[in-house]
Amino acid sequence: MIGVLANQKGGVAKTINTLHLGSALAKRGYKTLLIDLDPQCDLTHAVGIKNKDFFNVIDLIENKGNLNFREKADNFFILPGSDDFISNKYKRTALKDVLYKEFPNGKTINDYFDFIFLDCPPSKINIENSNKKFEFSEVEIALSASDFFLIPLKADDFSVKNADKFLGKVSKFMKTHNLKINFLGFFFSCILSTENSKDYYTEIFSNNGSDLLFDSFIRQDSQVKKAVQKGLTIFQHNPNCRSANDYINFTKEFLKRLKYEE
């Protein structure tokens, strides 16, 4: 299955959450690939990949060189990004086309992985582009290839208020392009252990009758920063810290929502 953690707002830890949801799934035995669509290459740097000559996302989409993914741990693979990646050079389905292109044996890249996650920068959805062949943002290209998406949030007014607006734009984008993408829900990340704002915003979701908010959430933890500085996941750096436990719980709920596990 292919998915994306999407939000047009920055500062909600999309890349870190993508990295650790992916690595947590790999630890559970799911073969997982992360693809870096961000020209800033934050995901690529977070896992310690520095060689710009390595097979990257441009090579994949443009069918250059030999297909090669970096294995960072058991079941855990990365396709590095490129600072030369410009999304509006490509048609909306460029990534989907290559992920579902059949090899001579009849299999596709998607067939070789249980999960593929597409990491995007904060980018907007522009419904006015619906009749154009190009000029699509990274998130539009990612959504067009995806089976599901999630929206990470911070526990603050701006993030929560913009969440419904962004979901509405995604819904219009899906309708315009006849896409069927499963929205798994919102989840809070970057939570300070000392703040009560998460409970306040959780109550707002509950009062609106929404079951779209994950029960599990991700707390801030200095261990994550230390892990990234070493090019490691939190499970490689400190598997017993609180954020590692948070990601394990979040991953369990993620799998339940997909009906992969009870």
Cα-based distances in Å from 53 to 23, 68, 80, 89: 24, 12, 10, 21
What is the distance between the alpha carbons of residues 124 and 137, in angstroms, rounded to a whole number? 7
Cβ neighbors of 224 (< 8 A, separation 6 or more) are 16, 20, 234, 243
CA distance 75 to 56: 19
| 3-state DSSP assignment of residue 220 | coil
Distance CA 3, CA 260 (A): 15
Tokens of 21: 């949801």
**Cα–Cα distance between 13 and 11 in angstroms, integer?**
6
- Which 8-state DSSP code applies to residue 103? P
At 206 the pLDDT is: 67
The tokens describing 56, both together, are 């990257």
CA Rg value for the chain: 18
Helix axes 14-27, 242-257, angle to 10 degrees: 80
**Domain housing 146:** 2-257
20 located within any domain: yes
Asked if residue 87 belongs to a domain, the reply is: yes
Domain total in the chain:
1
The two structure tokens encoding residue 166: 């962004």
Q: Which two tokens stand for residue 87?
A: 């999304």
In a domain, 164, yes or no: yes
- List the CATH number of the domain containing 187: 3.40.50.300
The answer to whether the predicted template modeling score (pTM) of the entire model surpasses 0.85 is yes
Interhelix angle 222-229/242-257, rounded to 10 degrees, is 90
In a domain, 235, yes or no: yes
The ranges of the chain with pLDDT < 50 are: none
Is 262 a member of any domain? no
What is the C-alpha separation between 58 and 64, in angstroms, rounded?
8
Q: What is the reported pLDDT for 74?
A: 96
Neighbours of 248 (CB within 10 A): 16
Does any domain span residue 122? yes
